[in-house]
Structure 1
Amino acid sequence: MSDNQCPKCQQELDWQGYYHCHSCAGDFVKVGFCPDCQAELEKLQACGAANYFCNSCNELKSKSRVRFEFQPKNLVNGRA
C-alpha cells in the first residue's frame, strides 16, 4: 500500500504534477515538516535526489525523519 492516500477519503492519490484524488476530486500537495521544530521544510531537488532544509534550524533534515502531510493545493503557500 502506498503512503500517498487522500486525507479526505483515504483513496490512493495519482500524481499529475500534483496529487489528485479521483474519488473525491481533491487536488493536494505534499508538504514536509521539520521533525525537530515543526516548521515547513524547503525541498531541494538536484540530480534526481530530494533533500529537505529547515530554515528555522538552519540544517538539512533526513527524509526518513520528515513528517509529510497532504494539504489542499489551493491553500498551500498561496498557490492556486
Structure 2
Amino acid sequence: MQLLCPNCQSELTRSGESKRHCQACHSDFILNIECNECGEALQRLKACGAVNFWCDHCHELKSKSSANYRLVEA
C-alpha cells in the first residue's frame, strides 16, 4: 500500500516500522493502524510473511484490508 503525504500529495517513504517520511516537503509521519469497528489501536501480528492485527478492545483478529490507516504528523 502506497501512502501519500497529506501536505503535498507526494509518495511517502518508509523510515521504520510505523514511520513515514516525505522527501518533497520533509515532513515526518507516524502511521496509526486502528480497528474499523471501535477505533482503538491494533497490535501487529506477523507470522510466515503474513500480517494481521489484533484488537484488544473487540477481542478479534482483524485483516490488514479491514483496518483503518491514519497518518499523524510527528
Q: Aligning the two structures, in what range does the TM-score lie when normalised by the shorter sequence?
A: 0.7 to 0.9
Aligned residue type for 1:72: E
For 1:29, what is the secondary structure of its paired residue? strand
Q: Cα RMSD between the aligned structures?
A: 1.6
Unaligned runs of 5+ residues in structure 2 are none
> Equivalent residue of 1:36, what SS?
coil
- Write the distance in 2 (CA, Å) between the matches of 1:46 and 1:26: 32
Kindly indicate whether the alpha-carbon contact (under 8 Å) linking 2:2 and 2:12 is maintained by their aligned counterparts in 1: no
Counterpart residue identity of residue 40, structure 1: A
Q: Deviations along 1:47-71, whole A, 9 cap, x unmatched?
A: 2221111110011112111110112
Q: CA deviation at 1:46?
A: 2.5
**More strand per residue:** 2
TM-score for the superposition, normalised by structure 2: 0.81
Match of 1:5 in 2: 4
- How many pairs are equivalent? 72
Q: Sequence identity, in percent?
A: 40
CA distance in 2, matches of 1:49, 1:8: 31
TM-score, normalising length from structure 1?
0.76
1:67 aligns with 2:68: yes
Q: Which residue of 1 aligns with 2:14?
A: 15
Distance in 1 (CA, whole Å) between partners of 2:64 and 2:22 is: 24
